[in-house]
């Protein structure tokens, strides 16, 4: 029985949990926490940004540590007023044209959840990048990070996979590691032999407030990267978070 599920925490906080249908996304946070209000645009887009949340498909993996990329993408989709996703054999995806930054120039945002399992994420992303002619540096990947405490977020670029097989799959299939990563802390297990079981476990009751907060922050992280640049995002979000 999942007594300490994040979904239960959302109910206690008076918020609406995520719906489990991948064609309709609901952010797992209070609506007031999502700060972005971009405008739709009919003007031709200046550039296309592909934002990918990593995780494992299937209800048995919902709310697990390895799926924080999916959870963050839900929050981003909700903030950008994206409700309906398309899907093919490899991924769930949606595209929206937004006036996201100051000024009149719109950006096309493509949101993606791979339908492959984590270790084959690049197999789903590579054909989408090729079809849409998206540059590698315009790819933003959101994923879990065991080397950061719960509640921490780090923005990096052109960094090694450091053992994350989903990130490694993207680098191998998409032409290298020169893409932006938003690393969401999930902490590390005490027993290093139990990493697989740990990343597939759910957050504890004491961790729920921190993970909800960092998920709510993800739309702002993305907007800062797209509008203000990588260095501005790193200055704003790459701060140390003290562990209790």
Give the model's pLDDT for residue 100.
Answer: 87
Q: According to the annotation, is 117 in a ligand binding site?
A: yes
Q: Mean pLDDT across the chain, nearest whole number?
A: 84
Give the model's pLDDT for residue 190.
Answer: 82
User: 70 vs 53, 131, 157, 199, CA distance in Å?
Assistant: 5, 23, 20, 14
Is the confidence at residue 202, as pLDDT, over 80? yes
User: Over the range 34-54, which residues count as b (16 or more CB within 10 Å of their CB) and which as e?
Assistant: bebebeebeeeeeebbbbbbb
131: three-class secondary structure by DSSP? helix
pLDDT interval class at 5 (50, 70, 90): low
Give the model's pLDDT for residue 15.
Answer: 43
Read off the tokens for 163.
Answer: 């053992």
What's the fold here for domain 6-237?
A: Rossmann fold (3.40.50)
pTM of the model: 0.84
Of residues 66, 78, 143, 164, which has the active-site annotation?
Answer: 66
Q: Is 66 a known active-site residue?
A: yes
Q: According to the annotation, is 61 in a ligand binding site?
A: yes
Read off the tokens for 50.
Answer: 């592909």
């Amino acid at each position: 029985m999942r007594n300490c599920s994040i979904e239960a925490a959302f109910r206690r906080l008076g918020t609406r949990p995520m719906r489990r249908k991948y064609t309709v996304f609901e952010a797992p946070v209070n609506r007031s926490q999502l700060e972005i209000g971009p405008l739709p645009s009919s003007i031709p887009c200046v550039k296309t940004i592909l934002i990918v949340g990593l995780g494992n498909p299937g209800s048995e993996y919902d709310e697990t540590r390895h799926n924080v990329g999916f959870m963050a993408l839900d929050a981003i989709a909700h903030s950008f007023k994206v409700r309906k996703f398309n899907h093919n054999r490899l991924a769930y995806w949606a595209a929206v044209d937004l006036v996201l930054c100051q000024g009149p120039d719109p950006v096309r945002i493509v949101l993606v959840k791979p339908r492959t399992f984590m270790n084959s994420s690049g197999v789903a992303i590579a054909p989408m990048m090729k079809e849409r002619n998206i540059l590698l540096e315009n790819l933003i990947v959101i994923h879990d990070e065991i080397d950061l405490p719960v509640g921490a977020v780090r923005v990096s670029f052109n960094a090694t996979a450091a053992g994350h097989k989903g990130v490694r799959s993207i680098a191998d299939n998409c032409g290298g590691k020169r893409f932006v990563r938003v690393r969401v802390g999930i902490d590390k297990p005490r027993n290093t032999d139990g990493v697989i079981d740990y990343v597939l476990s759910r957050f504890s009751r004491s961790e729920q407030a921190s993970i909800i907060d960092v998920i709510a922050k993800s739309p702002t992280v993305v907007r800062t990267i797209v509008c203000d640049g990588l260095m501005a995002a790193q200055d704003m979000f790459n701060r140390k978070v003290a562990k209790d």
